Structure 1
C-alpha cells in the first residue's frame, strides 16, 4: 500500500541554490508546454487532440542548455502533471483549464527513485542530481520501497519533503464497535456515545495577532527588505494555525479509527455552506472536508468502514427514539431537541449522531 511521509528539510546554501533552480526549471517547462498546447489547439481545432504531438523536456534542453543543470525526472514529472491536467479538463469541463504557474513563495517539484537514487542515511537524504545529501528531520521510521518524493518550499521559507513509500499495510484488531459522528462548529465532533471533541478555533484565537501582522505588512514599502520580513511573519503565523488544525484532525481521526470498526458521518456540502457569509470563516476554520478525507484514507489503511449518510438524510430533525421529524432544529440557536410525540429531551448534536448510527445498524 502506498503511504506518504512528510519531513522537514534543512538544506545548506549550496543546496538551496540547486532547489531554487529546479523549482524554476520545472515551472518554466510546465508553462512553456502549456503555451504550446494552447497554440497547437487553436491552430488544429479540427484535429483529434490525441493526435497532436508536443515537444518533450529533452527537446527543450537543446534550446535551453541551463535545463541540464537540474534533475531530468523533475522535468518529466512536470510534463506528466500537465498532461493529466489537460486530459482532466477535456474529460470534465467543470474541473477548469490548466493555469500557468506563477513565481510565488510556494514551490515544489517531484522526482522518482530510479535505481535507488533516493535514500536516507545518517539523518540525511540523497536526491537525484544533487551531489551532497540534505539534512532531514525524520521524526517517524518507515519500512518499504521509496517510489518518489516531492520537495517543497512553503511561504515561511521552510523546506519539506513528502516521500511516497510502498509500505506494508498494518492491520488493527477488529472491533465490533459502531459509532455515529455529528460534526459542528460549537463542538467539532459529537459521537453517538455522548463524547464531545472540542473545537479549538485556532484561527479565531490568532485573529488579533494576524490582523496586527497584516497591518504591519500593508505599511511596508513594496520591494523593501522590511516588507519581505513582515511577509514571512504573516506566513509563519498562517502555517502555525494550519499545523495546529492538522494536529487536532489527526488526533481525533486516529482515536475514532482505533476504537471503532464502523463510523457513520454526514455528507456535508461544504462549498455551499461557505456561501453563508456569517458562518463562512468558522466553517473554513473547522475543516470538515479535510477531516473526512483523513478519516477515509485511514479507514482504508486499517480496514475500517466509513458510511456516508445521504445528503437528504435529516439527522438533526429526526427523533432518535421514535423517528418523528421536527423542524425546530433548523434554528441553530436551538441546542436541545424536544420531541412532541414521545417527549424525549436530548442535546441536538447527540440526537443527530444517534440518528447517524442507525445507518450502521
Structure 2
C-alpha cells in the first residue's frame, strides 16, 4: 500500500545558500509570529476567528507595506507553509493534542517547507527556489525507485547542522504474518522487559553526559552576553544536547523496528507521561528514557508493516496480579522487585510478571475484536481502534 513517507538526510549548503536559508528561516519565523498575533488579537479583541484563507490575504497586503517589503526577497511558498503550520498547531490545540501555540524563537530549531512548485528535482539533484546551485545532500540511503518529492523541509538545529526531509509516496509492503506475540513492560531500571524474559537495559543517555553538559552550561553562563565567546559556548551546549538526542533516537528506532519485525502482536501499557514527569525525584529519569517516542514509533511501524499494537489501560494492576493464579495483592511498593504469591507460592520477578499479564490482557482484547479491524491496528484495552501517529518530518 502506498503511503507518504519522509526521508531525512544531512545537507551541507554553501555560504551563499546558508545566507539565503537564514533569510528564509527569519521570514518564516516572522510570518508565523505575526499570524499568531493576528489570530490572538482578533479573537480576544473582536471575537473573530481568522483562518488560513484570511491570513493569506493579509500576508499579501503585508508584503506591500513599507518596512516589510523584504518578505519578497525569499520564496513565497515557505511563507504560505508557515501559515499552514500555524493552522495545524491550532487544530492540535483545539483537539487536545497540544498546548496553545507559542512564538518561534531565533535560537531554537529553524525550518522552512517547500512544496513541489518551489524546487527543482532532476537526476537526484534538488535546487530550491531563489538558489542557482543544487544542495549537497549526503545520501545515507537511497530514495525509493521512481519516487518524486512532493515537498521538502529544510531544518537547521541548534548545533548549526542542516537537514533535509524529503516527502515521497512510497509503496510499503506488509511483512509476512507470524504467530508470535509479546507483552512489554516499560520501566526505568530496565527500559523494557518482555514477556519472553528478555530484558533491555536503560541506556540513560542524558545521565551519561550530564556532567559534561553541566560543565558546558556553567562556562556558557560566565560569558558576556552578546560576545562571540558566549555564542561559541552556546554551540558547545547545543552539540551535547544533539549528541544525547541522536543516540536516544537511534536506540529507539532500532529496538522498535526489531520488535515489529519479530512479533505479530505487541502489547504495551498506555502511560500518561505528561503526568508522570511531575514526580519530584523521577521526572529527570522519566524524561530521559523516552517512553512516548518509543510507543509512537511502534504505532506507525505497526501500521506500515501490518502488525497489531494493543495498549493496555494504565490502571490495570499488571505488577500486583499473579500471572499463574490471578491473585491480586493489596499493595506492592515500587522498591520491591521480586515477590512470592501468597495463594500459589510462585516466586515472581516484578517486571516479567507484569509483561506476561500485559500480553495476556492484550491478546484478550485482540481476540474480542476478531477480524473486524484490518491488520496494522492500534487497540486500547476497551477494543477501540486508535489512529496511529505518523513520524514527524
**CA distance in 2: counterparts of 1:41 and 1:276, whole angstroms:** 36
Instruction: Provide the C-alpha distance between the structure 1 equivalents of 2:95 and 2:309, rounded to a whole number of angstroms.
Output: 27
CA displacement at 1:200 relative to structure 2: 1.0
**Distance (whole Å) between structure 2 residues aligned to residue 149 and residue 266 of structure 1:** 35
Q: Determine if the alignment matches structure 1 residue 73 to structure 2 residue 77.
A: yes
TM-score, structure 2 length as denominator? 0.85
1:25-80: CA deviation from partner (whole Å, max 9, x where unpaired): 111112222223333334432x5666994434333322233222212110111111
| Selected match of 1:335 from 322, 330, 337 | 337
Contact 2:43–2:49 (8 Å) recurs in 1 = no
Q: Which residue of 1 aligns with 2:277?
A: 274
1:7 corresponds to which residue?
9
Match of 2:30 in 1: 28
Distance 2:5 2:53 in 1: 36
1:130 aligns with 2:131: yes
User: Is residue 199 of structure 2 the alignment partner of residue 196 of structure 1?
Assistant: yes
CA RMSD of aligned residues (A): 2.1
Q: Which residue of the partner structure matches residue 347 of structure 1?
A: 349
CA contact (8 A) 2:302 2:309 kept: yes
User: Is the 2:190–2:199 contact (alpha carbons within 8 Å) kept by the matching residues of 1?
Assistant: yes
Q: Mind listing any 5+ residue stretches in structure 1 that lack a counterpart? A: none
CA distance in 2, matches of 1:276, 1:295: 26
> Could you say which residue in structure 2 is the equivalent of 1:171?
174
SS in 2 for 1:30: helix
The match for 2:86 among 82, 86, 101 is 82
Consecutive unaligned residues in structure 2, runs of 5 or more? 365-393
Is the 8 Å Cα contact of residues 145 and 167 (structure 1) preserved in structure 2?
no
TM-fit CA distance, 1:88: 4.8
Number of matched pairs: 356
- C-alpha distance 216-270 of structure 1, shift in aligned 2 (>3 A): same
Over 3 Å counting, the alpha-carbon distance change for 1:173 and 1:15 in structure 2 is same
- Deviation sequence 1:123-176 (CA, Å, 0-9, x none): x53223322111111111121331211111111111111111111112211111
Distance 1:200 1:3, change over 3 A: same
Deviations 1:190-229 (A, max 9, x none): 1101111111111111111111111111111111111111
Question: What is the CA–CA distance in structure 1 between the aligned matches of 2:285 and 2:353, rounded to whole Å?
Answer: 23
Q: Which residue of 1 aligns with 2:251?
A: 248
